Amino acid sequence: MNPCGTVFLDRDGVINMDSSDYIKCWAEFFFIPGSLDAIARLTRNGYAVIVITNQSAVNRRMITLPELETIHRRLCRSACKSGGRITDIFFCPHRPDENCACRKPKPGMILAARKRYGIDLAGAVMVGDSVKDILAGQAAGCGRTVLVKTGNGMSAVHSLEEIGRPPDHVAADLDRAVGWILDLHA
């Protein structure tokens, strides 16, 4: 796909502030400081950026698909205005009880992205703030996983160590995660 590879990003808690009430409209969407600049740095350095996000608020009937698509269009426009590019956004609309193949920690969305874009997952990085993000990246065969401490990241560090599935790196936020990713190929 891109010469440097692909970086998969979780959305809530990595790019924008998470909410226990779900993000249901653009007015509830607040960027984590530095996240747009981090996406721009990945773009400038030749990485494809793909967002991989669970959005069960859709099947919980808290948000409609058109409302979610509006949020994602505005996210992509904001990234572009900051010099970045989001290649695609894959989302799972299912509730946990629906037991689909795409809801993280299952790797379905990452595998769908691989199929659509011909991604070499061994060279890909999954960045997330939760146990399910890291497990999805590992299950899909991503070469590296990075846990950020924004969102749910602080509690996830301990949980991943307890189950013997630690990420390859832990970073304070997306900006520092991108610094680590860029250093890998420096």
Per the CB < 8 A criterion, the answer to whether 142 and 8 are in contact is yes
Task: Respond yes or no: is residue 10 known to be catalytic.
Answer: yes
How many Cβ atoms are within 10 Å of 117's Cβ, its own excluded? Answer: 14
Selecting among 12, 18, 129, 175, the annotated active-site residue is: 12
Task: Respond yes or no: is residue 129 known to be catalytic.
Answer: no
Greatest pairwise CA separation for the chain in angstroms: 45
The residues that are catalytic are 10, 12
